[in-house]
């Protein structure tokens, strides 16, 4: 089976794990999954001995497909995480120009509307916000304001094409801001799914390891195969 097929088979059980039982990975997922897949092979060789001690041997059969499901969850989360990192990098590169455009446009509008009290008040309100989200919205508001009161702008030979540019930049920066903020840490559904898959697999692997160490307590070579 593919990793996605493994995930599809385990999806309901992973999702149903209560959030208060979820544990964060305490080692790299690739290393954890590799050791668990090795455990599945070795425990299967000791299947009869583990069953004789009262262990439910279906746990052994679950280790491999659940490992595949965890690999799939990890891949999905890392894809989202890397996309967010790339968006954050692009934001850092592009946002200074967007802020500069906003400030230049406000400078022009404030002068053009210096004798137009209603429009000037709107310019002052646009200036109030200081967050990234404010900047994105400001660019749209500037375009709308300039289109509503074009005469004072043309009187100072303002380039009206800048209003459309302002709207375009706002749209692009809005998407970039959403991407850079959208998958943040524990709020990500994909990360939560990864953590649940890890928790479920870790618990099953722990039970198998506990039984293995119990059964082979007199044989150190056998016993150490069940160490985490």
CB 153 within 8 A of CB 160: yes
Regions of the chain with pLDDT less than 70: 182-186
Query: How many angstroms separate the CA atoms of 169 and 163, rounded?
Result: 10
Per residue in 135-189, pLDDT (tens digit) is: 999 999 999 999 999 999 999 999 999 999 999 999 999 999 988 876 555 678 9
Burial class of 51 by CB neighbour count within 10 A (0 to 12, 13 to 18, 19+): middle
Residue 186 pLDDT: 61
Q: Exposed e or buried b for every residue in 202-226, given b needs 16+ CB within 10 A?
A: bebbeebbebbeebbeeeeebeebb
pLDDT reported for residue 133:
95
What pLDDT is stored for residue 32 in this prediction?
Answer: 97
What's residue 179's pLDDT?
A: 86
Position 228 scores a pLDDT of 83
- Nearest-angstrom CA–CA distance, 29 and 168: 41
pTM of the model: 0.75
Separation between Cα atoms, residue 188 and residue 121, nearest integer Å: 40
């Amino acid at each position: 089976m593919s990793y996605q097929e493994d995930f599809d088979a385990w999806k309901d059980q992973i999702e149903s794990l209560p959030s208060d039982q979820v544990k964060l990975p305490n080692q790299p997922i690739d290393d954890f999954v590799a050791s668990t897949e090795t455990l599945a092979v070795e425990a299967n060789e000791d299947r009869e001995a583990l069953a004789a001690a009262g262990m439910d041997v279906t746990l052994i059969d679950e280790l491999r497909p659940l490992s595949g499901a965890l690999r799939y969850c990890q891949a999905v989360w890392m894809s989202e995480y890397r996309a967010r990192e790339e968006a954050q990098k692009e934001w850092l590169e592009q946002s200074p120009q967007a802020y500069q455009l906003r400030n230049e446009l406000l400078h022009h509008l404030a002068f053009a509307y210096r004798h137009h009290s209603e429009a000037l008040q709107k310019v002052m309100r646009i200036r109030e916000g200081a967050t990234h989200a404010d900047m994105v919205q400001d660019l749209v508001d500037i375009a709308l304001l300039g289109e509503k009161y074009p005469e004072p702008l043309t009187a100072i030979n303002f380039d009206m094409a800048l209003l459309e540019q302002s709207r375009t930049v706002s749209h692009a920066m809005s998407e970039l801001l959403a991407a850079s903020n959208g998958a943040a840490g524990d709020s990500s559904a994909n990360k939560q799914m990864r953590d649940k898959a890890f928790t479920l697999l870790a618990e099953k692997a722990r039970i198998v390891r506990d039984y293995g160490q119990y059964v082979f307590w007199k044989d150190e070579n056998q016993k150490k195969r069940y160490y985490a």
